[in-house]
Structure 1
Amino acid sequence: MSKSVYQHGTMAKFVPGLYDGTKKLVDILKEGDTGLGTGDGMDGELIIIKGIPFRVTSTGEVTIVPEDEMIPFCTVHFADFSRLNLFNRIERKELEDEILERTHYRNIIFAIKIEGTFSNMKTRTVIKQHKPYAPLHKLEQKQIEFEKEQVAGTLISYYFPELYNGLNVSGFHHHFLADDHSIGGHVLDFVLEQGEVSIQPFDTFVQQNPIHDKEFLEADYSLFDLHDSISNLEN
């Protein structure tokens, strides 16, 4: 089983408004065939399934991300999931609690894949940003939300313990894509009607910083509340 997860960039990088892409998607995909992230300039929500990088835009359209696009943030791994259980009629918070209770993985990084039918799915995407970029906490006003009932699809998620907050989102971070591409994006809430939950734990976390990005090197993060800025947008 693959025990390594790779990440380019950090969530904290976005807090002062650093949204420019810093690594080509084609190179990120060398590190994994499954994952999630965002595009250049915070252009949509990315979900990578079986090596295909889908983008859900702020219009709700689903497209394939060009491999030469520069990406500011992305977490990926090579899928080697193990089935955890079949679940029926369970809400997001209850399911998350159940996963932690069954696995005892509260203090390690792991990935989840859920394939099934959702009686309710609520997602959002951020409108693509243009320079001069606003800081992260102001993007709450630039989100588009979507909601659909009775939709089949795939949810990919990473769980990061609190000790990794800032590098990623602490807790669960879900992205979704409907089988018919009718809805997708960063997940705000869901009710799983029926589906199979698979899990993949990691003992190695590979995190790459954009060391050639001048803005990143010179940013003063002491001026921002990293935890609140990330939590307010992502949760």
Structure 2
Amino acid sequence: MKKAIVQFSTINALMAGLFDGVFSVGEAKKYGDFGLGCSHALAGEVIVDHDFLEADGDKAVKVMGDNELLPFVQVTTFQPDKVVDITDVCKSNLYAHLAHYLPLDNVFVAVRISGQFDELKIRRPFAQHKPYPSVIKVFEQQVVDTVENVTGTLIGFWTPEFFKELSVAGFHLHFIDTTRKLGGHVIDFSASNAELAYECKQSVQIALPESEEYLRKNLKMDDLNKVIKQVEN
């Protein structure tokens, strides 16, 4: 189904500490070549831009092999409904830019933004070791970089608020530069001029982990939304 996002695991499972990779890159790539996720033990941020790319805390970017494992990833095929040039875009006004072209509160949208970014704030974690710390502890140790005048692509999704326990509500974006030497999770960005491409997605298919750890994990996190906002922003 070309209009589907295929998601492996859920965001609340990841936030609850299920960092072990249980889905292979080879399996995930059967369902698309566009998307994002994270790698085993939160070793890096994953950017799916034809290849599966891993950006780690040591600032390295590599192409992942088919046998490498992922605890969470969203993939799709990307065939834009519309491609437009936009000006003066940043994370805080991206909703307004996209809402100009379609009502998006009740749908999933795959989003790609390409161009030279005046400023970009991204982060990458370091690989964790068992017993795993809380996700908050992990991201207190993350590498955060602010770079200027960098050319590349933001790749990600818009998720409606009422799906917030399955995926990150709002915009969830990862970045890869044109040289494939810099990448990570996008905290903030701004661009004077950029190209916005989007595709509305009518279907989300979810593959849940089959591990014993997942089956027995308590995923009823009372402060889940607070944790997600703290980690993602």
Instruction: Give the structure-1-normalised TM-score.
Output: 0.94
Q: What secondary structure sits across from 2:30 in the alignment?
A: helix
Matches of 1:224 and 1:66, distance apart in 2:
36
Query: Does 221-230 or 125-134 show the bigger shift?
Result: 221-230
Return the letter of the residue paired with 2:179. D
Distance in 2 (alpha carbons) for counterparts of 1:88 and 1:223: 39
Identity of aligned pairs, percent? 29
Contact 1:24 1:71 (8 Å CA) reproduced: yes
Deviation at 1:12, TM superposition (A): 0.5
| Segment drifting more, 173-182 vs 35-44 | 173-182
Equivalent-residue separation in structure 1 for 2:156 and 2:15 (angstroms): 22
2:131 and 2:230 map into 1 onto residues whose CA distance is 22
Match of 2:35 in 1: 35
Q: Which residue of 1 aligns with 2:48?
A: 48
Aligned to 1:215: 213
- The one-letter code matched in structure 1 to 2:200 is P
Q: What's the CA shift for 1:60?
A: 1.1
Superposition pairs of residues 91-130 of structure 1, within 5 angstroms: 91-130=90-129
Runs of 5+ unmatched residues, structure 2: none
Structure 1 CA distance for aligned equivalents of residues 222 and 41 of structure 2: 20
Whole-Å separation in 1 of the counterparts to 2:136 and 2:222 = 10
Equivalent residue, structure 2, for 1:226: 224
1:10 counterpart residue number: 10
2:165 corresponds to: 166
Q: Which amino acid aligns with 2:97?
A: E
Deviation at 1:158, TM superposition (A): 0.3
Once the two structures are overlaid, the 10-residue window that deviates more, 186-195 or 85-94, is 85-94
Instruction: Give the aligned CA root-mean-square deviation in angstroms.
Output: 1.5
The answer (yes or no) to whether the contact 2:81–2:200 under 8 Å persists in 1 is: no
Amino acid of the structure 2 residue aligned with 1:193: S
Count of aligned residue pairs for this structure pair = 233
* Partner Cα distance (2:125, 2:165) in 1: 19
Corresponding residue for residue 188 of structure 1: 187
TM-score, normalisation: structure 2: 0.95
Shift of 1:182: 4.2
